[in-house]
Amino acid sequence: MTSRAPVIAIDGPAASGKGTVAINAAQLLGFHYLDSGALYRLVALDALRAAVPLGDEPALAALAADLNASFDAGSVWLDGHDVAAAIREEAVSEAASRVATLPRVRQALLSRQRAFRRPPGLVAEGRDMGTVVFPDAPLKVFVTASPEERARRRYNQLIEKGNSITLPSLLRDIRERDERDSTRATAPLKPAADALILDTTDLTIDAATAFVVQKYRAMAAAERR
């Protein structure tokens, strides 16, 4: 039964809007939700706190395999502590991008990600949901936006939280992260061959969410005929 649960795989670069779209779509459809990036952020946070070098692949893979983490009603728990805010800090985001390039870390987290697939369905978002984790997902959407727009969105988020940051530095960071994610040897960031491309540069979140939900409902209706 679990293997037959439908999956909507939503991939895309940082600050493209994929996370909010995925959360909203899951709520509207009554599906479970997987933020795969949070798992890499948890590994990164665990590594930073334990002073594990970000280039020590065996040690990081061991952390990933033994990760004492859970998700509950918007909270993210690591070793019994809610770290939902901590994993969104810029230092953790940067570390997570580096950790995610390591094949042994990705392999260690693969079964944990696939375990989220259960009825009535799953909306999974990340960098390789449609290409590696759920290649049989009936609906795959690659959400993107221009680097400039993504930097602007991230800038506004950080300023609202009281962070001191400049727009040019954020744009540089986003371009560097895109390059790192798209050129890594294992599970590079790219659209699946059968993915729909959703450019959110000039779209509202509601419009982007509606696109995903309507595509899924149309597909599901066609299958029932």
Q: Could you tell me if 130 and 142 are in contact, meaning their C-beta atoms sit under 8 angstroms apart?
A: yes
- For residue 193, what pLDDT band results from cuts at 50, 70 and 90? very high
Please give the structure tokens belonging to residue 51. Answer: 């002073």
Specify the number of domains making up the chain.
1
Q: How confident is the model at residue 114 (pLDDT cuts 50, 70, 90)?
A: very high
Q: What is the pLDDT of residue 71?
A: 79
Instruction: Determine contact, residues 125/36, Cβ cutoff 8 Å.
Output: yes
What is the residue range of 159's domain?
A: 2-209
Full-model pTM: 0.88
With contact defined as beta carbons under 8 Å apart, do 198 and 142 qualify?
yes
CATH of the domain at 85: 3.40.50.300
Question: Is residue 105 in a domain?
Answer: yes
Give the tens place of pLDDT for each residue, 22-53: 999 999 999 999 999 999 999 999 999 999 99
Please check whether residue 78 lies inside any domain of the structure.
Answer: yes
Label residue 123 by pLDDT band (50, 70, 90).
Answer: very high
Q: Looking at the domain assignment, is residue 219 inside a domain?
A: no
- 215: in domain: no
Does 217 map to a domain?
A: no
pLDDT of residue 157: 87
